[in-house]
Amino acid sequence: MGSSAIRFYPYFAVGAAVVIIFVAVFWIRGRGKSPEQRERERRLRISEVGRITDGTVIDVTQMETNGAGESQLLIFRYDVAGVSYEASQDITRLRHLVDLHSCKLGLPVSIRYDPVNPGDSIVISENWTGLRS
């Protein structure tokens, strides 16, 4: 009985090595990116593959962020397949693309959303804007 168990050790070793490699790859890929980089990649992905729907600006607000300055949030509402969504987008790093004074309550905007996860949405990114003039 002991010799038959020994035959399976190479398979266990290979399986363990594969698991360790997968964990290492995921850890290295996620470790090197800052939250700002991940958010930028999310915006760019949605601006490229997202579907467009109509929405409305609910508010533009500034929030204090743990002593790191102020963040500017664009809060908006939209509907997809009969479901209403209310979301916000941090537009602090996109201020040069946004005229905050023109973003008023009730302003119609275009929303890009992830078709797989409609709650994941944006109004503006580096290469697209849903703000209407």
What DSSP assignment string belongs to 41-71?
HHHHHHHHH-EEEEEEEEEEEEEE-TTS-EE
C-alpha to C-alpha distance for 122 and 85, rounded to whole angstroms: 12
Annotated domain spans of the chain: 2-31, 35-129
Question: Which stretches of the chain score pLDDT less than 50?
Answer: none
- Give 61-83 pLDDT, tens digit per residue: 877 777 667 888 889 999 999 99
pTM attached to this predicted model? 0.70
